[in-house]
Amino acid sequence: MPPLECINPETSPLAMWHKLRVEGRHGSRPRPWTLANMVSSLDGKAALNGRSGKLGGPLDRVMFQAIRALADVVLVGAQTVRTERYGPIQLSQDLQSARSDAGMAPNPLLAVLSRTLSLPNDRGLLDAPEGLVLMTGADAPPDRIRQAEDAGIRVEQLGESDSTVAAALDRLSETGANVVLTEGGPSVLADIIEADRLDELCLTLAPRLLGDGLNLIERSGLEGRRWQLQHCWAADDDLYLSYRRPAAQD
């Protein structure tokens, strides 16, 4: 079991990226390495006043950027994009430089799972088509597909599948993604777990008890397998945990 390590909450995302980067993820498997980064209250709730971004503290914000910088693609559901008010992914200049030195694109691609392709643009999400891909099903509205493609946005239709998330991960692998990060929401995370595609869970525990609210995983009946603790870091009263699936399950 790894020891608890205290982290200065003012530690830079680049320093944490270097700590996380030493562990093999890129090119380690025939399919993308899939990790999730989530924040939870002590009683397992994933949002404060409807938004996960309000739940985490300084350490969570540092880890959010560091973990994003590990990924080739950030995969999220449309509801998370709406609720958390996503814009284009733009890492700090030092993280972009570090990624470029490691042979990666300066910023990860943002992939959004959406049935309707109806997404907000109040933060310029749709104004940066080179960093965005929309992933949708066979029954997506044709006019919305045309509208997105006319704006230069790549649209991937996944067809009919038992698991849209699994199909999305397969498609991202076909286009060269080695590491895919999901930031939720809880139903997308549950879909990934149910499809047996999750390799790593990065979890910040916020020192709050909320009672009501959205659960970290919105699904019942998932297989209760054990996971292996990789990291245990603390900053102030926040706790950052990283778990991986045992190698025997690969």
Can you list the domains of the chain with their CATH numbers? 32-42+54-119+128-219+226-244 (3.40.430.10)
pTM of the model: 0.92
pLDDT tens digits, 40-99 = 999 999 877 666 667 878 888 899 999 999 999 999 999 999 988 999 999 999 999 999
pLDDT tens digits, 203-231 = 999 999 998 888 888 777 777 778 999 99
**Of the candidates 28, 32, 71, which has an alpha carbon nearest to the alpha carbon of residue 174?**
32
Q: Which amino acid makes up residue 104?
A: M
The two beta strands, 179-182 and 200-206, are: unpaired
Helix (H) or strand (E) holding 145: helix 142-150
pLDDT tens digits, 130-180 = 999 999 998 999 999 999 999 999 999 997 765 689 999 999 999 999 999
pLDDT at 188 over 60: yes
The two beta strands, 132-136 and 154-157, are: parallel
